[in-house]
Structure 1
Amino acid sequence: MIVKRKAGYYVLSEKTRRNMGGPYKTRAEAVKRLGQVEYFKHLKG
């Protein structure tokens, strides 16, 4: 999930709310990172 905070956009885990990346200046950068996280999550099987 992507969350907007004071410092910028953060990518957080859905279940644990753990930080997976950020802060990013734009939402587009955060969406790109979220795609990377999802890709590697599904790569493991």
Structure 2
Amino acid sequence: MTTDASESKSSRAMDNLKNDNKYLTFALGAEEYGVEILKVREIIGY
């Protein structure tokens, strides 16, 4: 039983890592937006 419990816990930890996405967030006026950080190609300041 201990092995099954640790495998289940390990499996949940791996699922959490897969879903741990990071986002670039920004606001335009009153609206807020987010883009997956891996899809950002360039950030241009003004």
TM-score using structure 2 length: 0.40
Q: What is the TM-score with the length of structure 1 in the denominator?
A: 0.41
Name the structure with the higher strand share: 1
More helix by share: 2
Report which of the two structures shows the higher radius of gyration computed on alpha carbons: 2
